[in-house]
A and B are shown apart, each in its own frame.
Chain A
């Protein structure tokens, strides 16, 4: 009995330590300037300053940053789903010449470390005249090998009878893919979409190097600019961190199963 109590005590303490920075962040974001400037463990603000959040949006163009971040992340997510679904289907279900060679090439790009492509892509984006534009933020990320690979695995896992049944009913392969195939691999589509969204929304290095003005900055870059400013208030910084983290936490809590199963899938089958 005591053993079990000790076990619970340990894991709950661990969870408390893990989540403490977030609790402290939210608490500090709601304290007034004086209280937040002299930090304590006290997570209950003396005065609840909800107006801090409005002030944060006034102190830096976070509205614009958020618009950019969401526009980019949603576009990338939609594009990744639309490119990896047909490609995964083709690699899993179609017979054509050069299939294996093409698939090996796709897998090879999965092994390429991000840093190798950083400089050439940066130069390429400049040559295309895309510097400081949505195209630069979105287009290079519209397809990735890992998503193609995941979609292929999902289609390989489907029994072949579905396609045959659809064929007999006079359904062509494209109609099959859209109306029958896509719903059947929906769990994997959601996983691929979640990865794409989070990866795009949380990215720092690429948006940092291809944007140069506030009009084009995404939240992650905007926050580094904001927190680098001289004499910025703690409470406003914590407001900014809270509103940037909030969408991903909401997404995570509402699609938890997908997050955890996909990490697990990567670990076990990897």
Chain B
């Protein structure tokens, strides 16, 4: 076995999670969501479908939205992971006002996908908010609350706003 072959019980990964560098010794068959919730007790991220369809487990990995239920933990080596816990609650007032959260199961994923759009408004060239957030399913709000709240949240950060 070469030095790069890693066997069975545990692997070591170094990663930056919510701004903190962490060294983890983990079972290689874990997913990113398992590491977040069970190893690091970052339980803000929710598991919904476990098959990449609902987006409730969305987090940012190297700045891009990903479903943490589909990310093998062995691939987070040297990555930057951001979860709902890093988001300043004060910035979420527009979402609260618009009724973007009801039962709350989808909310962490919605907020993290929204963070990606807020930080990278040029992605709106590839689709409107509703299209870019189509990977975050919500059974409560009918989406208008989410879309309107996101629009206001983006306008908060962009003096000129968006159309």
Please say whether chains A and B are actual partners in one complex: no
